[in-house]
Chain A
Amino acid sequence: MGFGNESHGLLSRMAVNDQHGENSAYFDGWKAYDRDPFHPTHNPHGVLQMGLAENQLCFDLIQEWMRNHPEASICTPEGLHHFSDVAIFQDYHGLPKFTKGVANFMSKVRGGKVKFDESRVVMSGGATGANEVIMFCLADPGDAFLIPTPYYPAYARDLCWRTGVQIVPVHCDSSNNFQITRDALERAYKKAEEDNINVKGLLLTNPSNPLGTTLDRETMKSLVTFINEKNIHLVCDEIYAATVFSTPSFVSVSEIIQDMEFCNKDLIHIVYSLSKDMGFPGFRVGIIYSYNDIVVSCARKMSSFGLVSSQTQHMLADMLLDDDFVDKFLAESSQRLAKRHSLFTMGLEKMGITCLPSNAGLFCWMNLRSLLKEQTVEGEMKLWRVIVNEVKLNISPGSSFSCSESGWFRVCFANMDDETVKVALRRIEVFVGKEGEKAKNVIKRRQRTTGLRVNSSSSKRFDESWLMSPHSTHIMSPHSPIPHSPLVKVT
């Protein structure tokens, strides 16, 4: 049931509208993967999941720590005596050891250059929950946040769906490597004012998803200055903070404001999570860290709607406070990401495919603009469908990140092993080679028919008829965007 968009329907409008964003074509790729998931031995020709920004590179380190610390689990003989205290504990201030551990970890991730106050650490249901809560605290329905594009697709759901807040995109493009400029911000802010939209703040993801780049010190300073001038909030989603694997090193907003005396700290808020840095999305550890006391107090009350399981808090507390482990983990994780990034990007370079130079994240921002027949969203989607259905790689089209320039794709590389990366590279190579051949053949045919010699400046131009080959299947509408995990089949 649910009566469409009437306000007097059986259900709320929220329940029946599609503001959750899950009907986006972006999720078609998941469906293709779900139907035909790659497996090295069982299904070597299946679809490779490269649309999932997960960090699977360091489980061995965590498992080793857990093996050496059985008391961290409340279920082992060594930890069982904690069971009842932990099971009963639902105080939204969090287990003291846990919030201390989080503050400690966050500080280490920033090279010890900042100290975090554990009394400002507020829990949430993953960063998903954190982003929604911070919006509930800072904005009313109809208010807006500026967000530089390209940005994480689920922001539409997390920031807007139940809060009624709107996103005002600040478009960035490749002319300057997608960097945010003061100019672009001012223009977006002014336009919002003209349109009578009440801008409450600016939200940055730093390191960026999907770009994989970090903001430099000067840019951060100018952004902090900007929000202070306009007296609007700055929310920095630093969920990828520990995935920085090469220079320039990460500069957190927390570091910047230490040296900016004029900055009104009440405007500064950080969203964090352990889902990317440690690879634990299943444990739902989201954090809001605000320099504004009222926001901390309000967010803490709202955290009742998404507290971290006390079992999880207890398990992670000692791990996060174990300095030796944390130092080793951060260093090793960084190294492995660097290696993986290099393996992938160098492999792509050999075939003439470039990625945006990046120093962080679990993905690359791949430039396939030269493969587009038309430099439009439709052109991008056509190419994407070929890549999903024929090359059998689920990668994410730039348009799903609200990118204003067509032809960019986010490709994840940290959710698989080295062998699988090589399989992906081989497939891309074959694809690029084939397309090169086809382009050459098209050109030769044209030469024969027109009698002209056309110098192909790129081997990657395509005939439209090829894109509409009988092999490309029609994409059905998506249901769940979430991929099947082996645990779903294990039952």
Chain B
Amino acid sequence: MGLLSTKVTCNSHGQDSSYFLGWQEYEKNPYDRVMNPEGIIQMGLAENQLSFDLLESWLDKNPDAAGFKSAGKSIFRELALFQDYHGLPAFKNALVDFMAEIRGNAVTFDPDHIVLTAGSTSANETLVFCLGEQGDAFLIPTPYYPAFDRDLKWRTGVEIVPIQCSSSNNFQITESALREACEEAKKRNLRVKGVLVTNPSNPLGTTLSRDELNLLIDFINEKNIHLISDEIYSGTVFSSPSFISVMEILEERNYHKDSHPDVWDRVHVVYSLSKDLGLPGFRVGAIYSENNTVVAAATKMSSFGLVSSQTQYLLSALLGDKKFTKKYISKNQKRLKRRQNMLVSGLQKAGINCLNSNAGLFCWVDMRHLLQSNTFDAEMELWKQIVYEVRLNISPGSSFHCTEPGWFRVCFANLSQDTLNLAIKRLKSFVAESSPSGAHHSRESSKTRSLTNWVFRLSSRVREQEER
């Protein structure tokens, strides 16, 4: 009988993964244009830093929202006391409008069906607490966001069974992959409660096609299970095909809420302002569901992670300004597109291809041709070289549970244009130097061998960032 709980000693929080070790390296030797120009460039952080100027200029023009005032009168007291887990109505209204706007108003959301949570980290966990328990599993297509292992499994006791996707069809979800995942769950004695997809995908940067969405709906109907669609990147779609939310598919199929209540009871959307607005620090997440029992239970559970009232108030004003949101969504997408193009074309010049993407804050980069062998060990070796020699913190595909070695996620929206150009330059040099030259290779390999031991020694202080 341990002194502490089993949750403390197990490592379902997933923070021992290599994904987080890259952070450690970056923290020790962070790039700075002036102070540390040889340092490691952070490209493992899916943050959107491209559009703060738009937010700041709005704040400049709207002192009331900034100063806890409503029509000039101070509402500090009311905000300080407001802890109603139903959330600030003005904020929920503005949020659902924003969500609809991102979807080209092809879908509308009912503010009474939104549950506010402390980030989508909390939204995902809360939904799983409501839908599953020990002995249950959720199917998730690979590659997927590493922290799902923590968010969905750690405290809930629920398991994840991967739906294996491959580059042969650009990592799209297939029916056979879905069925295989079900079989796998059965073998592991797990009851499948649902499928969770991230749309647009992290790390792929692609949106789910209409076919994939229809396949998923058919599948969950057949099995009478849930579908959770994490649409945290929905506002980052910058080129065609345009974003299709699962909610749109339900509407298209004429699944009216009255005639087909059961399917509406099993489809849930997760959202957050961390990526689209670039505000991860504010901890604004949301669950959307037409299932009243889920909404009721999730609302109560949100007590464990409510959104700060002052943040709700600020954002209700910001998102309530429709002129602003229209301008923001459009400009932000244009900037993301330009940035992605820069990275893609830069990498191409180095002979490196990316998966064709139309969304997200990152590219899914194909470095298979740079591997010594088609193995995950080789992927780790390559990754270490990139971190220590090229001095870029990028994320290895294995940390996303990718079944094929050699893919890396590289972020492009959390650094300046100049820094991005420098990163591309470094990678280009590395690729050029890496072309066949035995002596050179063996020098590199011995360096990385000595690094292996060092990297896998766990530090007591991993500065984790809420990475997606």
Contact = CB atoms under 8 A, between A and B. Distances in A.
7 contacts: A75-B59, A126-B303, A298-B4, A307-B118, A309-B283, A482-B85, A491-B90
Given A125-B304, A283-B309, A305-B118, A63 B85 contact: no
Contacts of B90: 487, 490-491
A311 B310 CA distance: 8
B306 A284 contact: yes
A295 interface: yes
Contacts of A132: 304
Nearest to B130: A15
A305 B130 contact: no
A279 interface: yes
A157 B191 CA distance: 27
A80 B55 CA distance: 10
Contacts of B88: 487-488, 491
Given A11-B131, A75-B59, A282-B80, 12 more contacts: A2-B293, A10-B131, A12-B129, A12-B131, A12-B132, A87-B55, A88-B278, A90-B280, A136-B155, A137-B5, A158-B303, A298-B4
Interface string A468-491: 000000000000101111111011
Interface in A161-206: 162, 198
Contacts of B310: 282-283, 309, 311-312, 315
Contacts, number: 266
Interface string B76-97: 1111111111101110010000
A485 B313 CA distance: 14
A14 B296 CA distance: 12
B66 A13 contact: no
B282 A311 contact: yes
A14 B82 contact: no
B304 to A, nearest CB: 5
A442 interface: no
Contacts of B314: 75, 311
A448 to B, nearest CB: 54
A281 interface: yes
A302 B59 contact: no
A305 B56 CA distance: 28
Contacts of B291: 1-2, 11
Contacts of A402: none
Contact of A128 (B224, B281, B303): B303
A482 B122 contact: no
Contact of A162 (B121, B129, B282, B293): B129
A107 B8 CA distance: 28
Interface residues of B, number: 87
A50 interface: no
Contact of A89 (B130, B281, B309): B281
B22 interface: no
Those 4 A-B pairs whose CB atoms lie nearest each other, nearest first: A75-B66, A310-B281, A282-B309, A306-B305
Interface in A65-83: 66, 73, 75-77, 80, 83
B226 to A, nearest CB: 8
Contacts of B191: 8
Interface stretch (B241-249, B339-347, B444-452, B458-466): B458-466
A427 B178 CA distance: 67
A88 B56 contact: no
B440 to A, nearest CB: 39
Interface stretch (B67-75, B100-108, B378-386, B399-407): B67-75
A265 interface: no
Contact of B133 (A7, A89, A267, A275): A7
A266 B3 CA distance: 9
Contact of B121 (A11, A137, A275, A304): A304
Interface of B: 1, 3-8, 13, 15, 47, 49, 52, 55-56, 59-60, 63, 65-68, 70, 74-86, 88-90, 93, 118-119, 121-122, 125, 129-133, 136, 150-151, 155, 191, 224, 226, 261-262, 265-266, 274, 278-283, 291, 293-294, 297, 300-301, 303-311, 314, 463-466
A140 B5 contact: yes
A93 B463 contact: yes
A86 interface: yes
A291 interface: no
Contacts of B151: 304
A11 B297 contact: yes
A282 B84 CA distance: 8
A487 B82 contact: yes
A309 B311 contact: yes
Contacts of A76: 63, 66-67
Interface in A82-121: 83-84, 86-93
B287 to A, nearest CB: 12
Contacts of A129: 303-305
Contacts of B66: 73, 75-76
Contacts of A295: 4, 8
B76 A66 contact: yes
A14 B130 contact: yes
A157 B4 CA distance: 21
A115 B358 CA distance: 53
B67 A73 contact: yes
A346 to B, nearest CB: 27
